[in-house]
Amino acid sequence: MQANIATIRQRWAEAKLTKMAAFWVAIGAITLTLFLGFSRGGWMTGGSAQRMAKSASQGAVIERLAPICVMQFNQDPLRDQKLEELKALPSTFQRARYIQEQGWATMPGEARPDDQVAAECSQQLMLIAD
């Protein structure tokens, strides 16, 4: 056994990496680093980062505009009756459409109601209704 260990040590000390082997080891290390970085390390491309930032900013804007929609609902003199009508609608889409038709999702200074604000507003109004 001792002789075997010595020969392994000797072979390791005498081993030389060829240029071709070094090239493939480098390619493998680069590939492994990229794979682990993008799959586990949280790296992303510029396009992915832009899409994520755009989505987050749109979500933040809608989150800030939905309370304005709720406030406009609260100013409606027939709000209790309209809240009952809103609760009676079966789908979220129909509720958002109803809110758009009432004009609550039309922000001050805007000409048209916003679909996403109406959807978020309907969710918030349904919480009030419960």
Residue 128 is predicted with a pLDDT of 81
Q: Is 15 helix (H, G, I), strand (E, B) or coil?
A: coil
Task: Read off the DSSP letter of residue 45.
Answer: -
pLDDT in tens, 76-93: 999 889 999 999 999 989
Longest CA pairwise span in the chain (Å): 98
pLDDT in tens, 6-54: 688 888 777 788 899 899 999 999 999 999 999 999 999 999 999 999 9
Of 111, 109, 55, 88, nearest to 122 (Cα)? 88
Question: pTM value?
Answer: 0.62
Reported as type and span, the H/E element at residue 44 is none
Judging by beta carbons within 10 Å of its beta carbon (0-12, 13-18, 19+), is residue 115 exposed, middle or buried?
A: middle
Alpha-carbon span 28 to 116, nearest angstrom? 47
